[in-house]
Amino acid sequence: MKTMKIVIVAGCIALLCAGTAWAQEATSPPKKVTTPEALRNEIEALKAVKVAWREIAWKSCLLEGLKESRAQNKPALLWVFIDRPVDDARC
Amino acid sequence: MFAGAAREAVFSNSDVIRRDNAHFVPVALKAGLVNNPPDDEEGLLYREIGRSKPAPQGICAVNSAGKVLAWSLMFDDDKSVLAFLDHAAKRFSDYPDARKPFAAERYMKYPSMKMDDVEDSGRVLPVPEHHAIGKHCPGAPPIGRGTVLARIFGRALDKNDKPVADTLLQENYIEDRFNIDVPTQENLANALADAGKGPVKLPIEITRQWVKQAYMGVLDVQPLDNPGRIKGELKKCSFTAT
């Protein structure tokens, strides 16, 4: 069985500027991140370089989609999903 | 079908990606808009799409008038996704607009589990060219001035603490986002201002909002914010700022 440790990093400018540290119960002690730059680098290292489903040119506007459907004489393919932003990689 | 399942099983297939981009207009719609449409002309289009929906989430093809050609919630295999797209494209060539009535086809699983069709309502709905002046697109609601947009990245690590290569599964990789509104920022600023020089523990009212976004796996679970099914417990949440 594959053993995994999960690391989740909340990355936002506000958090970086505030220099917050998240104390959590983990399978191993969290690494000490001493500077905003080091935290930013750690976040960057987690990001996937290429996210497959983003290769699809999703629109988020139904009216725009139907307009393009008319203009290009193509059907619109609707992915109806739980409420997340269109470029949300979780969906 | 969970949103994540579609992401992994349908929209990460290179053949599907190619086909979608070349032969369809891909539109990602929030389920909330289909299930609770706004009360305007655009809402009528959402309502028409939702009229035949087999479930609150799914994949469907519509024609230029917003009439549903076919729904499917799942697919027998990878080839079936492409077959569904072919089938939808064929239906579009037969029914590109609202001039001829036709039933919405529905599949629990394409092609093996077909459901009953839903007959055409006979209504021809106006399709506005754009949103009314002063109205935002419901797919991209406005964000309050001063709001900070936060992004979250989560990645599983292997036994050597290296990020796993497979980022397709939600258990392995997630990105998410949330907004930090101005009152929350003010609370944070006040907490920091009151701290003096030493480290300060941040209020749970602020940090819980951050933590509840931070989970791997299926989006719908929302362990700390589940709408009614599972009540997750946040046993420890301690942020300090220096």
CA distance A39 to A20: 10
Q: In Å, how far from its chain's centre is CA B79?
A: 24
pLDDT tens digits for B175-224? 878 888 999 999 888 888 887 777 888 888 888 888 888 888 776 677 88
Distance CA B150, CA B180 (A): 7
Query: Is B26 in Cβ contact with A81 (below 8 Å)?
Result: no
Q: What is the pLDDT of residues B221-241, one digit of tens each?
A: 778 877 666 677 888 889 888
CB pairs under 8 A between A and B: 267
Mean of pLDDT values over B8-22: 91
How distant is the alpha carbon of residue B1 from its chain centre?
A: 12
Tell me the ipTM for this assembly: 0.83
DSSP 8-state secondary structure symbol assigned to residue B148: E
SS3 content of chain B, % helix, strand, coil (to 5): 30, 20, 50
- Best interface-test mutation with A: which of B8, B23, B29, B84 has the largest number of A CBs within 10 A? B29
The structure tokens 């040119």 sit at: A57
Q: What's the pTM value of the predicted model, to 2 decimals? A: 0.78
In this prediction, residues B10-36 reach a mean pLDDT of 92
Q: Phi/psi class of residue A53: alpha, beta or left (left: φ > 0; alpha: ψ in -120 to 50)?
A: alpha
Cis before B142? omega within 30: no
Residues of chain B positioned with their CB less than 8 A from the CB of A15 = 150, 210
Record: contact B25-A69, CB cut-off 8 A: yes
**Confidence at A19, pLDDT banded by 50, 70, 90:** very low
Q: Which of A43, A76, A81 is the closest to B3 by Cβ?
A: A81
Q: Which residues, numbered 135 to 154 in chain B, qualify as contacts with chain A under a Cβ-Cβ cut-off of 8 Å?
A: 137, 139-140, 148-154
Residues 41-70 of A with CB under 8 A from B: 43, 45-48, 51-53, 55-70
Which pLDDT score, from 0 to 100, does residue A71 have?
97
